[in-house]
Each structure stands twice: as C-alpha cells, then as structure tokens.
Amino acid sequence: MKNKRKTTIKDIANVLNITPSAVSRALHNHPRISDKTKIAVKKVAKDLDYQPNHLASALRSGKSKLVGIIVAKTNSYFFSSVVENIEYELNKKGYNLIITQSNESFDKECRNIDALLQTQVDGIIASLANETVNFDHYNKIKEKGIPLILFDRGENDIGVDYVGIDDYQSSNIVVNHLVEQGCKRIAHIAGYSHTRIYKNRIRGYKDALKKHGLPEEEELLLEGSLSIEDGRAKMTELLKLSILPDAVYAAGDYAALGALQVLQEHNIKVPEQIALVGFSNEPFTSLVSPSISSIYQHNKEIGKLVAKQFLLRVNDKNYKPVLHKTILEPELIIRDSSRKLKS
Amino acid sequence: MKNKRKTTIKDIANVLNITPSAVSRALHNHPRISDKTKIAVKKVAKDLDYQPNHLASALRSGKSKLVGIIVAKTNSYFFSSVVENIEYELNKKGYNLIITQSNESFDKECRNIDALLQTQVDGIIASLANETVNFDHYNKIKEKGIPLILFDRGENDIGVDYVGIDDYQSSNIVVNHLVEQGCKRIAHIAGYSHTRIYKNRIRGYKDALKKHGLPEEEELLLEGSLSIEDGRAKMTELLKLSILPDAVYAAGDYAALGALQVLQEHNIKVPEQIALVGFSNEPFTSLVSPSISSIYQHNKEIGKLVAKQFLLRVNDKNYKPVLHKTILEPELIIRDSSRKLKS
DNA sequence: ACCATTAAGACAAACGTTTGTGCAAAACTT
DNA sequence: AAGTTTTGCACAAACGTTTGTCTTAATGGT
C-alpha cells in the first residue's frame, strides 16, 4: 500500500533542491524561471503524479475556478443544452460548474445565491425564476465584485450582462407566419407580463396584429404560468368564446401541448380549424402529432456566448461599466400544427 | 462605499478580545467554550455579517463540502428528478453539488472524474455512461478514500454502494401484464447487454416468457442504443417479420416512442394490433397519444436513498467494508398503449 | 576591468480556518 | 486548606499555494 499523502509542490521542490515558490512559478510558466528548471519541474511533477490542490490555490489567490449556475429547471431541453455548452466552453479554461435549480421559486433562488457565494464561486450565470421581481440578491453578487451574467430570463433594471433572443421579434415572426397561413383571429396564451421576456412577447404580438390590421381583442390574450395544465385551462377558456380563434400562439411549448390536448379532445382539427405555435422548440414538439411549430432560441449559441461573456468579465481586472447585451435573432421552426397551406 | 474586505474570524476575535481559535470553536459549539462567549461570538458574527470562508476551512480540514455528480444527461426526467432530490437532501447538511454530464461517453466520464477529484469533492455520486465497461477511474476514487455511490446504472464488479430498481423484476412485471392482456408474441427492444441493467432486463424478459410457456425467439429480441432513431429502426425491422409480434416491450421510453411513430406511420393500431410498453416513465409517455405504458423507477425515492447512503459513508470515519445495495421494486404505470382489455 | 543590468531563484509572509497542546483560574473533592 | 479535576480559553502550527521583495550570479557595455 502506497503512502496516502498526496504529493505537493514541496515534494517536487525537495527532489530538485529548489524552493516551492520556484516550483509554483515553473508550473505556471513564469518568465523568471529558466526553461531548464521548468522542464525538470514538469517532469518530476508527472513522475510523482502531482495534482495541484485547488483549495489551497483558491484560498491564496482568491480564485476558486468554480462558476455557479442558476436555472429554473435543469430538466428542460432549453436550459440543459445551454448549460451543456457553457460547461463545454468553461471546462476548457479550467472552470467547473456548480449547477443549482430555483424551481421557479424566488426563495430557493436566494438560497442558491447565498450558497454559491459561500462556496466562493468566481462568478454566477443565471436565468431568473418566474417569481423573481426583487433583485437585492443579485446586487449582493455585484457588490462582491464577481461577474454576473444573465441569459434568457433577464432584467433590464439591474445593470448586468445579458444574452438572449429578441422576444419582441419572435412574436412578430409568429404572427407573420400565421397571417400568411390565412389566420385572422390569433389568440395568445402568454406568460405573466411581470417577467420581461413575456412582456416583450405580448408587446410583439400586439404590435404585429396592428401591423396586419387585425383588431386587438382582450379575450384573446390570456396570461398564465405556461405549464401544461395552464395551457389546458387557457385553451378551454378560449373554446368558450362565441367566435373561436383560428390560431393560438402560446409563449411556451408545454402550454402549447396542453392546448393541443384540449383541441384534440374536442375534435378540433389542427391546423385546419385552429393553427398552433409554441415557444422554445422542446424536443417533444416534433414528437407529438401533429408536430408543433415552435420558436428556436439558438440554445447552443446562447451557451457559447454566455461563456464567452463570462470569460471576458472574469479576466477583466479593471471594472468596466460597459454593459453587454447580446440579442439573438429567433427562428421559427414550422411544423404541422401551423401548416395550413401545402407548399 | 464600505470596505470590501470580508469579515473574518479574526475580526470577530478582535472585537471580543479573544483568539480566533476560540471564535472558531464557539461557532462550532465546541464544549470547551462557555455559553456566554458562544452567544457573544454569534451575535458579533451576525452583526458583522460574517460569512465563513469555505475554502479556508476546506483546506485546513480536508473537507470541501462539495459532492460531485456524474450522470449521462441532466436533460432526462429521470436523472434530473433524482438529482433534484439528492440536492435537496444534501443541501440540508451543508453540501453543494457539482453536476457533470458524461453524455454517455466513457472519455468524458473519465475527464469528469478527474475534474471532480481535483476540485477536492468529498464524494462522488454517479450513474455510469452506456459506454463504460472499464472501471479504473472509479477505483481511483476509492483509492482516494472518498465515498462513491452509484445509482441506476451500476456495476457489481466494483465493490461499491448502489441504489436502483430491480431490473429483472421489471421485465417480469411487464411480460405478466402483456400476457394478461392476451399477448402471445412479445418482442423486446433491448439495451446493449454489456450494461448490467439492460442485461438484467433481458434475462427477466426471457425468464418471464419461459414462465408463461411462450417460446423465446431470436428475431424478437433486438439490442440497441434505445434512442428514438434506434426505436424506429428496430420497429421497422420487427415489421418485416413474417409473423408480426402482438406486443413490443422497449427497455427505454425514447425507443418506445420511436417504435410508436413507426407503428402509426404503418397504420397499425396500438394497442389493438400491437401493444407497447416503455421504460422510465418519462413525462412525454403520458402526453403522446396513445399514452405509453411505462415502468416507474421511483425517482424521488432513489434520490433520497442515494443521499442517505452518501451521508452514512461520509460520516463513517472507520472504513467499513460492508456494501449497501439498495434495490427498489419497480412499478408499471399502465396507460393506453397496452390496455387491450377495457376494465 | 569596472559598473550597470538582467536573469534565476531564495525567502518569507500571507490566504482564513482548524486543531493539538498548554496553562491559568474556577469548581469540586476530602 | 491543600490537592484534584474541570472549565475556558490562549498559543501556535498547519493545510498547500501564491506572490512581493531580496539576493546572488551571470551578462552586457564601455
């Protein structure tokens, strides 16, 4: 049985009769160390299977090489693929991710932030919970002086870097598409308007209607949590209208799915009688029948951009008050649920 | 602007004219510290907004309070809900999770393990990638002396704690159910038999057939990756048989979904002509139509048990070579895809 | 051959805790 | 009242790095 003790920088120093500081510098390619000793140090390090102690270096340097992530649910294709790409990019630079879930709860989000700050993360990347309307906790992050990047669910009020798609434009694209398919009475199952992205989708929806000369009717715009159940409830409500809509645009795929279920239960043909469009391009949209048209948010791209932005910030010693808001163009994936015209 | 410096244990000591060690002990409720000073210390700590420096304590004590998680994909309902419950339980004890994904790649899994070990995690909880057949990396964890718990995809060869369901029994339940529905020619879209859980499902399938006096036919047993595409391919193959099966049992929900798609494209009625059962109870199984029957693996329970087992190990100073394998009873959720008899 | 540079590394302090030991005073013994 | 135990804390080292400053030897210029 070998000795359990891990080899440290000191052990290497002893072997070569130099000091630990020289070893440390050699391993970091410090210019003041000769190439000869650098090579020697690295060889011994390899021979002794030296593994740097992150905790020690973190303590001394103040950098933990850990990045905190906060999302609503990892269990969503959008979030998990964004995170996957962040992880890929940041791993390359030696960072590890601590992933936490807020479960859409403001309280849990606060606790997560505290936990992450305690773990001395070098930065935090987050997408806000639906409940979140108070940003004191995020200011705590800024006060700590570590970078904070928001994506998808962001907020303009706290001056902070952001990466997401153009929600206003998304609605525009959806409405354009539906009008093109001949729809004239387009309903919108919306998210709560206190969340910025949903507010923008609503604005985009309204403006697009106006642009096409369609009247904006109260009864066709319903706010909710966008869960499956919510989608079902909202669709049921819409079916009670004296004049039915000929299209439904849901601000979330799960809500769209709920709506689809209700439509099918009422034997309403999709898209012939009512066309349907969702949002986020969750995988199931292409699996159900009819497949659901949806807005693709460039998940991979968002992940990469967030990572890039984080690296920029974390390497930026002199605090630059320049904000970076990166807005991507959304893309509508047209599927059967909204394809009335056979092209 | 307040001074940026975080308050340390020393600051508290200075305020009260005691030593840092006394403060540390007071905060940890050491018996050798009087209640009076304990209260005083805690008060000052609160007043000064003292946040313990985890890195420092980790360095000194050797415990980082971080736990590494390795799963194939966070983006799967089963994994994400297991992890959610692990997180919930371990957070209560002051642990934070570092979640990594292997993406079913052996290589990535090894890199993840190395990264986690470098970050000085106090333990690792993992579910093996499909590719993994070599366990040297897991032995590295054991050599380090930190606990390792496997769940779902485990392996008997490395002596290690495990939590999962009884896969053999699962197949039994499925076949019993299908036979009950009147099926006599049951196909199995299986996972690769080099993975233990899939091997057991195959064994269970074969034995159950035997038990019911049904012949075991080569052409009805097809191994694959269990992706949607794989499910489609395997179902297409099955449809080429001269005598069609009257039931298909897929060892994964995605494969079941792929099979369902193919069946519907061929206008084969499910379950009337061919019944279908999946595995894992992914949410979409209840969303598609017909809804897919599936095996529920007690996600929440697994998470809780894994956490419990981890805590047991991590607090166990004297290495106990007693292995804990926890096996849960699977539960078949019967839905439309296999309900031939109207009950 | 003398002074000025530069190169290569030594030295030591520091990061914020935890922890074993030491030591005085207080509290029990008898 | 003297001895013994207990209580409450001080002292200092240690965890493994990183980093600012100092020292010495080598190099260069004239």
Q: Measured between beta carbons, which residues in chain A are less than 8 angstroms from residue B63?
A: none
8 A C-beta contact, residue B157 and residue B128: no
The CB density around residue B176, as the number of other CB atoms within 10 Å, is: 14
So what's the pLDDT on residue B27?
A: 96
Chain B residues within an 8 Å CB radius of A100: 87, 96-97
Q: Does the C-beta of A133 come within 7 A of strand D?
A: no
Identical topology for domains B64-165+299-330 and B167-297+332-338: yes
pLDDT for B319 equals 58
| A3 — pLDDT class (breaks 50, 70, 90) | very low
The predicted pLDDT at position B2 comes to 39
Q: What is the DSSP string of B265-310?
A: HTT--TTTTSEEEEES--GGGGTSSSPPEEEE--HHHHHHHHHHHH
Structure tokens at B76: 């799967």
| Among A43, A57, A13, CA closest to A21 | A13
Cα–Cα dist B276/B169, whole Å = 18
Q: Closest Cα of chain B to A70: distance in Å?
A: 12
Q: Which CATH class is domain B167-297+332-338?
A: alpha beta
- Interface contact flag, A97 B97, Cβ < 8 Å: no
pLDDT at position B231 is 97
In the block, residue with structure tokens 């790409």? A85
Residue B60's pLDDT is: 94
Query: Which CATH number is associated with domain A167-296+332-338?
Result: 3.40.50.2300
> Which tokens hold the place of B253?
């929900």
Taking the CA atoms of residue B290, residue B295, residue B296 and residue B297 in that order, the dihedral angle to the nearest 10 degrees is -150
What is the residue extent of each domain of chain A?
9-52, 63-165+299-330, 167-296+332-338
Verify if strand C has an atom below 7 Å from the CB of A37: yes
B53 touches strand D (CB under 7 A): no
Is there contact between A290 and strand C, defined as CB under 7 Å from any strand atom? no
pLDDT (average), residues A309-314 = 92
Chain A hits for B73, Cβ within 8 Å: 80
Nearest residue to A275 (alpha-carbon basis) of A134, A154, A179, A203 = A179
Distance B56 CA to C26 C1' (A): 35
Would the CB atoms of B99 and A99 count as touching at under 8 Å? Answer: yes
Put simply, the answer to whether A261 touches B73 (Cβ < 8 Å) is: no
A245-302 pLDDT, tens digit each: 999 999 999 999 999 999 999 999 999 999 999 999 998 898 888 999 999 999 999 9
Residue B3 clears pLDDT 90, i.e. is over it: no
- Average pLDDT along chain B: 92
The pLDDT of residue A23: 97
**Protein-proximal nucleotides of chain D (any atom < 7 Å from a CB):** 7-20
Question: Do residues A252 and A280 lie in contact, with contact meaning Cβ atoms separated by under 8 Å?
Answer: yes
Q: How many CA atoms lie within 13 A of B152 on its CB side?
A: 26
Q: Which chain B residues contact residue A264 at CB under 8 A?
A: 289
* pLDDT value at B180 more than 50: yes
A79: closest chain B residue by CA: B75
Three-state secondary structure of A121-184: CCEEEECCCCCCCCCHHHHHHHHHCCCEEEECCCCCCCCCEEEEECHHHHHHHHHHHHHHCCCC
Beta bridge partners of B123: B67
* Token pair of B58 as six digits: 């980790």
Considering the domain delimited by A63-165+299-330, tell me its CATH architecture. 3-Layer(aba) Sandwich (3.40)
Of the pLDDT bands very low, low, confident and very high (cuts 50, 70, 90), residue B342 is low
The integer distance in angstroms from the CA atom of B7 to the C1' atom of C15 is 13
Given pLDDT bands bounded at 50, 70 and 90, which one contains residue B139? confident
Average pLDDT over residues A81-109: 91
Is A66 close to B120, i.e. CB distance below 8 A?
no
Q: Give B8's pLDDT tier (boundaries 50, 70, 90).
A: very high
- pLDDT score of A12 more than 80: yes
Under the banding of pLDDT at 50, 70 and 90, the label for residue B292 is very high
Question: Strands, E, within chain A: which ranges?
Answer: 66-71, 96-101, 123-126, 148-151, 161-165, 186-191, 221-224, 247-250, 275-279, 293-296, 325-328, 331-333
% of chain A exceeding 90 in pLDDT: 76
Task: Give the mean pLDDT of chain A.
Answer: 92
d(CA B339, CA B290): 10
B320: helix, strand or coil: coil
The CATH homologous superfamily to which domain B64-165+299-330 belongs is Response regulator (3.40.50.2300)
Nearest CA distance, A207 vs chain B (angstrom):
33
Over residues A26-63, the pLDDT tens digits come to 999 999 999 999 999 999 999 999 999 999 999 999 99
Cβ distance A120 to B54 less than 8 Å, yes or no, reads yes
pLDDT at res. B208: 98
Residue A95 has pLDDT above 80, yes or no: yes
User: Does the pLDDT value for residue B271 go beyond 60?
Assistant: yes
What is the pLDDT confidence band of residue B34, given thresholds at 50, 70 and 90?
A: very high
Using 50, 70 and 90 to split pLDDT, how confident is the model at A315? confident
Closest by Cα among A128, A111, A153 to A70: A128
Tell me which of A14-18, A192-196, A242-246, B56-60 is least confident: A192-196
Residue B281: the pLDDT is 95
Chain B nearest CA to A3, separation (Å): 11
Give Cα separations from A72 to A87, A317, B89 (angstroms).
Answer: 17, 31, 18
Q: pLDDT > 90: what percent of chain B? A: 77
A192-207 as b/e, with b when 16 or more CB fall inside 10 Å? Answer: beebbbbbbbbebbbe
Q: State residue A284's pLDDT score.
A: 85
Q: Phi and psi at residue A258, in whole multiples of 5°?
A: -60, -45
The predicted pLDDT at position B317 comes to: 60
Select the residue from B74, B78, B120 to test the A interface by mutation, using most A Cβ atoms within 10 A.
B74
pLDDT at A170: 98
Residue A56, CB, strand D, below 7 Å: yes
Chain A residue numbers with beta carbons less than 8 Å from the beta carbon of B228 are: 287
CB-based contacts of B213, cutoff 8 Å, min separation 6:
none
For residue A143, the chain B residue with the least C-alpha distance is B4
Query: For A195-204, what is the mean pLDDT?
Result: 94
Q: How close B74 comes to chain A (CA, Å)?
A: 6
User: Distance from residue B52 (CA) to nucleotide D21 (C1'), in Å?
Assistant: 31
> Does B289 sit within 8 Å of A287, measured CB to CB?
no
Please identify residues in chain A, positions 42-71, with a C-beta within 7 angstroms of any atom of strand C: 56, 59-60
Mean pLDDT of B100-105: 89
C-alpha distance across the termini of chain B, in Å: 72
Among B99, B114, B141, pick the best mutation site for testing chain A contact (most A Cβ within 10 A).
B99
